[in-house]
Amino acid sequence: MENLTKAMVEFVMQRLGIEGVSLLFLAIAVIYMWYQHHRAKLLQERITLIDEKRKDMSDRLERSLKSSGIVNGRNESQFSSAKTSSMNKSILIAEDDTSLRQVLADVFLDHFKGVNVVTAVDGEEAISKIENATPSVIVLDMMMPQKTGYDVLRELVNRNLNIPVIIQSGYVTESNFRPGAPVPKSRLTFFPKPYNLSDMIQVIEKLLHDEKK
């Protein structure tokens, strides 16, 4: 391979001369710099598009919550017949969108009296929280930094933890879900973003109630 490379360089120099070779390498360097700049620009545009989509999902969900009275004057009669209270239960919210994570935490704290609500900003923190105390239910975003929702699910399998998980995602659905680990689908509930939070609350109520049995 080294001999072949040397032969190619000698051939090019014979054809182009030293000045020609210098110009060739300069052209290659310019093309490479343009490629790197263009690649970085495309990557930034993709990141911006994803951020805008995530923000739009969060805004739409929050508007839905406010219009239904769940946030800022929640309609108490809507869920009054199904209140769940237990000091030994907890809900872990793993969501990197700050506003959505805060909305979910506020609503769950208000609705599930006596249930501890724990939050994590990414998959790595979620795994750490699970190690400290096993939650009753996990509300899990799939696309997060550090470690993803898939990493969290694999950790549950590795630790043989049969915790019910609510997957809330704008990208991962039941049809394209590929965990890469034998995750029992019977313990998973999918909520594509944006979703109706009242439906999620009803699912969590049932999961917390079933845990008591």
Locate 25 and state its tokens. Answer: 């390498």
pLDDT of 95 above 90: yes
Whether residue 37 is contained in a domain is answered as: no
In a domain? residue 44? no
Distance (Å) of CA 8 to CA 22, 23, 27: 15, 16, 18
Which of the 8 DSSP states describes residue 80?
Answer: G
Interval 165-181: pLDDT, tens: 999 887 777 677 776 66
- Contact of 133 with 91, CB cutoff 8 Å: no
What's at 123, amino acid-wise? G
Give me the CATH number covering residue 134.
3.40.50.2300
Instruction: Find the domain containing 175 and state its range.
Output: 75-212
Q: Give the model's confidence band at 113: pLDDT under 50 very low, under 70 low, under 90 confident, else very high.
A: confident
Q: Give how many domains the chain has, as a whole number.
A: 1
Cα 108–chain centre separation: 20
